[in-house]
Structure 1
Amino acid sequence: MQDPQQHPASAARSSLRQQARRLAMAAGAGLLAAGATAAHAQSSVTFYGIVDSALQVGKFDRNISPTPMAASGNLQASRFGFRGAEDLGGGNSANFQLETGFNTDTGAGGGNTLFNRGASVGLSSRSYGSVDAGFLYLPIYWVFLSSDVSTYGLANPAAIMSLEHSSTLGSSGTGGFYPNAVRYRTPVLFGGLTSEIGYSFGAENNEGLNDAGRNAGANVQYTRDRFTVGYGYNRYRYFAAGSPTVSSAQITQVLSGSYKIGDNAVGANYVHSTRSDATGWFASAFMVNAKIPFGQGDIELGAARRIQNGDAHAMAYDIGYVYFLSKRTQLYTYATTIRNNSRSTQGFALLNSSYATVSPGFNPWAITAGLRTSF
């Protein structure tokens, strides 16, 4: 009998079987690799951050000489964080975010908590919106932010921060994070309409003051082509001095809008805040600002006016320039001042925390220049 290995037909069949095995192995390896790639694509974690350092000089109160100093985060607060998402299929995903601030001038952390700039976990759906829980901004903040059209928004020397941030309007919700919070955001509706509701359980005090720090709010925003309009509401609960058993509330409302004209942009807002305790406290403010591309950067302009009970009036003005060395790295400079009437004591809380208030009628000023880079 002839050796089948030597028979031409048998040899051909053997060769075909070997080729088939090699193709199957290659296909299997390809499927494994594709599966590994798909599995990797379903989950991602991003490490990101901003490093911002500046020099500033300012006269922060009447009896203080102009003071030069190092500063951190005068264009954007220095920070780093982790952001992650997992694709759950069907347009659904799980997400988380952890972010903390730090000071470049001292190397110290930016707060008393590890993730002082937010910590949250949530679920998102293209069809039904998203739910997040943790240490969060409340809905009114996003309306407040959308009115600032500057390069990055809410720079520390800017007029909008000087007179309208939570450091000057108390617990208004326009700035800062709130603990034990949960929020729901709708998907985009009707070609540009979105809404959000949020609630913070506050400090969850167990000594009978359960209302302390509780916060509830909502917003509605509409974006179409070159303009955005929005409304935000916030209700903060607290116990005033002399009222240990009956809680009071600070009610804040914001109406804002922005518009792009070519590469230029202008934004404005109106903020109104009142408290229900016996002090009769209230404050209102309006702001207008603009961004004008010029050369290899942006000119920033802003003006704001604040009125408070007791006939206290203040105006804030800023002018700045952000110069792009690259997409991630910028040089910047700002000049800013606050003009207080004889009853107003508003200082630059975010440039020098020691002088959040000033002598009545004093007009503080500051100039800053710095470098910002991101990763």
Structure 2
Amino acid sequence: MFSALAAAGHSTAWAQSTLTLYGIVDSALQYGKFNDNVSPTAMAASGNLQASRFGFRGSEDLGGGYRANFQLETGFSTYTGVAGGSTLFNRGASVGLSSTQYGSVDAGYMYLPIYWVFLASDVSTYGLSNPAAIMSLEHSSTLGKSGTGGFYPNAVRYRTPNYYGLSSEIGYSFGSQNASGQTADGRNVGMNVMYQRFGMMLGYAVNRYQYYANTTTLTPSSQLTQVVAATYGYGGNFIGTNYVYSKRTDSTNWFASAFLVNAKIPAGHGDIELGVARRIQSANARAMAYDVGYVYFLSKRTQLYGYASMISNNSHSNQGFGLLNPNYATVTPGFDPWVVTAGLRTSF
């Protein structure tokens, strides 16, 4: 007991540490027609404005402008209490060192550089809060292995300091490190550069994800994705846009390109949010997505919200609302799913 107290006193004398518990709890009701062979369905839903989650963030002052940092975060369903997947910290786990002069280095399970440029292009109240339509088009098909670049295991990244609004990041994932010897599977390398000043943001990122096109012959392949993005804000009004192009090197000749335009307009005690996206994909698949929403602030931390969204598919496209109803991530080609949702979000 004495040694523990002494150690605690010693660390207090030499360093200042912080530990923050944070989270978001979001519950909603939604009603929509998710495919042509099912009737319109009413459902309870979790995380329709922002995914419900909780996490721990810590930092220790090492002196001389250096800090040690860590972050652990996991998602969960508000209605069932079930954690998000089989991974304990499925929304990231990392530890690193940072310097006011030299930047930061982190290692763990985390987003890599392309995600941050894509996130910055969505100017909605909380960023990516309109996933029902817009994100469904630019999600897994255009930005790497899954999600908006996805969380990558066995990853390291370096971030530069911010020089008058200019910053950059490089990241590398060692991949799945599969025990069967498929060591290149899931390897990833990417970088970004962003400029944020005078009410605007300009960004560019590139991502190269490796995988085996044939797991029996271990035929190597990769997916190369690039994104450019810009935002501008004036008088509380914001507009954001991006363009994404992605192509795979295997024999499928798969490619996809997409653009996004979205806006946030203050109105009363909340924000009106508008978004449209278009995706062109190989095999002549074409899709458009639209959404309109309103976020009403009960307080700084608590909001009521409502959205209406629709995806328009041509006869070769089968995009569904996978983020709102995983059973219908794809639909009958040519079907146009729609959904309305209303919910309550609070944070701590």
State how far apart, in whole Å, the 2-side matches of 1:244 and 1:325 are: 57
In our comparison, the structure showing a higher alpha carbon Rg is 1
- Alpha-carbon contact 1:348-1:364 (below 8 Å) kept: yes
- Alpha-carbon contact 1:347-1:364 (below 8 Å) kept: yes
Task: Sort the Cα spacing of 1:129 and 1:157 in 2 relative to 1 into closer, same or farther, 3 A.
Answer: closer
Q: Deviation string for 1:34-88 (max 9, x for gaps)?
A: x999749710100010000000011000011001000000000000000000001
Q: What letter is aligned with 1:331?
A: L
- Alpha-carbon contact 1:55-1:70 (below 8 Å) kept: yes
Q: What letter is aligned with 1:107?
A: G
2:73 maps to what in 1? Answer: 99
State how far apart, in whole Å, the 2-side matches of 1:283 and 1:272 are: 6
Q: For 2:145, which of 171, 187, 190 is the aligned residue?
A: 171
Task: Sort the Cα spacing of 1:288 and 1:243 in 2 relative to 1 into closer, same or farther, 3 A.
Answer: farther
- Structure 2 unmatched runs, 5+: 1-8
2:184 maps to what in 1? Answer: 211
What's the offset of the Cα at 1:208? 2.9
Q: For 2:154, which of 175, 180, 185 is the aligned residue?
A: 180
- Structure 1 unmatched runs, 5+: 1-34
* SS of the residue 1:249 aligns to: strand
1:257 maps to what in 2? Answer: 230
- Does the alignment pair 1:283 with 2:275? no
Identity across matched positions, percent: 71
What's the offset of the Cα at 1:170? 5.2
What's the offset of the Cα at 1:278? 0.6
- Does the alignment pair 1:308 with 2:281? yes
- Does the alignment pair 1:82 with 2:56? yes
State how far apart, in whole Å, the 2-side matches of 1:214 and 1:173 are: 16
State how far apart, in whole Å, the 2-side matches of 1:173 and 1:299 are: 25
Relative to structure 2, which stretch is displaced further, 266-275 or 36-45? 36-45
Query: For residues 79-158 of structure 1, what are the structure 2 equivalents within 5 Å?
Result: 79-158=53-132
Relative to structure 2, which stretch is displaced further, 132-141 or 240-249? 240-249
- Alpha-carbon contact 1:333-1:368 (below 8 Å) kept: yes
Q: For 1:351, which of 324, 329, 345 is the aligned residue?
A: 324
Q: What letter is aligned with 1:126?
A: T
* SS of the residue 1:145 aligns to: helix
State how far apart, in whole Å, the 2-side matches of 1:169 and 1:353 are: 19
What's the offset of the Cα at 1:90? 1.1
* SS of the residue 2:195 aligns to: strand
State how far apart, in whole Å, the 1-side matches of 2:154 and 2:263 are: 36
State how far apart, in whole Å, the 1-side matches of 2:19 and 2:308 are: 38
- Alpha-carbon contact 1:163-1:316 (below 8 Å) kept: yes
* SS of the residue 1:161 aligns to: helix
Q: For 2:247, which of 267, 274, 295 is the aligned residue?
A: 274
* SS of the residue 1:44 aligns to: strand
Q: What letter is aligned with 2:167?
A: T
State how far apart, in whole Å, the 2-side matches of 1:107 and 1:324 are: 25
- Alpha-carbon contact 2:142-2:246 (below 8 Å) kept: no
State how far apart, in whole Å, the 1-side matches of 2:91 and 2:155 are: 14
Q: TM-score, normalised by structure 1?
A: 0.88
* SS of the residue 1:354 aligns to: helix
- Does the alignment pair 1:224 with 2:197? yes
* SS of the residue 2:239 aligns to: strand
Q: For 1:298, which of 264, 268, 271 is the aligned residue?
A: 271
What's the offset of the Cα at 1:277? 0.7
State how far apart, in whole Å, the 2-side matches of 1:41 and 1:81 are: 23
- Alpha-carbon contact 1:95-1:121 (below 8 Å) kept: yes
State how far apart, in whole Å, the 2-side matches of 1:88 and 1:167 are: 42
2:4 maps to what in 1? Answer: none
1:28 maps to what in 2? Answer: none
State how far apart, in whole Å, the 2-side matches of 1:361 and 1:39 are: 66
Query: For residues 8-19 of structure 1, what are the structure 2 equivalents within 5 Å?
Result: none
- Does the alignment pair 1:336 with 2:309? yes
Q: Give structure 1 regions of 4+ aligned residues with deviation exceeding 4 angstroms.
A: 35-41, 167-170
State how far apart, in whole Å, the 2-side matches of 1:37 and 1:214 are: 39
- Alpha-carbon contact 1:60-1:348 (below 8 Å) kept: yes
1:233 maps to what in 2? Answer: 206
* SS of the residue 2:219 aligns to: coil
- Alpha-carbon contact 1:156-1:162 (below 8 Å) kept: no
Q: TM-score, normalised by structure 2?
A: 0.94
- Alpha-carbon contact 2:142-2:225 (below 8 Å) kept: no
State how far apart, in whole Å, the 1-side matches of 2:90 and 2:53 are: 10
* SS of the residue 1:247 aligns to: strand
Q: For 2:135, which of 140, 143, 161 is the aligned residue?
A: 161
